């Protein structure tokens, strides 16, 4: 049974994961409009991952005798100064998501709600991966630069990364 406080925090996280998905979906559209198919594919895939993150919490709430609530979700931003600036925003957003997950895990621990604490371990590991993933992309911008040629190369890399992630998820090498 979830405490009132925990139910609220988990429902807020459902909302945040939905919002994250919309952020990446919108960014994928922006990439498409700028002639960056690799970035569009990578971010579209990431938007789907965020929906999976949302669904797992949604189901966990309902399986824990709570009721998942779909709240109001604000529109994501649709214009960016540059691809690099967009990826800096993504990295900052993921650090914010990590902070929220850590806060929920902290409350679960304080409340001795070890079902939820255990459930959140997957998100803690996932956030570690996501921060590393986006930090790695920012490192590429530092090395390659985001002038035209560099951008072309980074776009190709993003396309390969999206294909590799999709293959890993489907168990295909």
Tokens for 108? 């679960």
Query: What mask, x for binding ligand OFO by CB under 6 A, covers residues 49 to 68?
Result: -x--x---------------
Options 17, 31, 36, 41; binder of ligand OFO; rule CB under 6 A: 17
Residues 143, 145, 150, 147: what is their CA dihedral angle, to the nearest 10 degrees? Answer: -170
For residues 20 and 26, which CB has a smaller minimum distance to ligand OFO in the complex? Answer: 20
Q: Residue 6 in contact with residue 113, Cβ under 8 Å? A: yes
Binding of residue 162 to ligand OFO (CB under 6 A) = no
Stretch that binds ligand OFO, among 64-72, 76-84, 123-131, 144-152 (CB under 6 A): 123-131
The number of beta carbons lying within 10 Å of the beta carbon of residue 143 is 8
Query: What mask, x for binding ligand OFO by CB under 6 A, covers residues 83 to 122?
Result: -----------x--x-------------------------
Tokens for 118? 């255990």
For 147: left if phi > 0, alpha if psi spans -120 to 50, otherwise beta; the answer is: beta
Q: Residue 46 in contact with residue 166, Cβ under 8 Å? A: no
Give the shortest CB-29-to-ligand OFO separation in angstroms.
Answer: 18
Binding of residue 20 to ligand OFO (CB under 6 A) = yes
Binding residues for ligand OFO, rule CB under 6 A, total: 9
Binding of residue 137 to ligand OFO (CB under 6 A) = no
Task: Name every residue whose Cβ is closer than 8 Å to that of residue 2 and which is 6 or more positions away in sequence.
Answer: 10, 61, 64, 65, 66, 113, 116
Chain contacts with ligand OFO (rule: CB under 6 A): 17, 20, 50, 53, 94, 97, 123, 126, 130
């Amino acid at each position: 049974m979830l405490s009132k406080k925990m139910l609220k925090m988990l429902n807020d996280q459902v909302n945040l994961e939905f919002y994250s998905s919309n952020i990446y979906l919108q960014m994928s559209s922006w990439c498409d409009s700028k002639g960056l198919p690799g970035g569009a594919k990578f971010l579209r895939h990431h938007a789907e991952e965020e929906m999976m993150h949302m669904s797992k919490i949604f189901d966990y709430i309902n399986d824990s005798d709570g009721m998942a609530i779909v709240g109001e979700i604000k529109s994501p931003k649709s214009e960016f100064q540059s691809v690099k600036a967009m990826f800096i925003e993504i990295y900052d957003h993921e650090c914010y998501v990590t902070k929220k997950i850590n806060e929920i895990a902290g409350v679960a621990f304080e409340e001795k709600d070890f079902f939820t604490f255990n459930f959140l371990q997957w998100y803690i590991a996932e956030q570690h991966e996501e921060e590393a993933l986006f930090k790695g992309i920012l490192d590429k911008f530092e090395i390659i630069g985001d002038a035209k040629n560099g951008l072309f190369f980074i776009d190709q890399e993003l396309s390969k990364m999206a294909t590799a992630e999709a293959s890993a998820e489907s168990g295909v090498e």
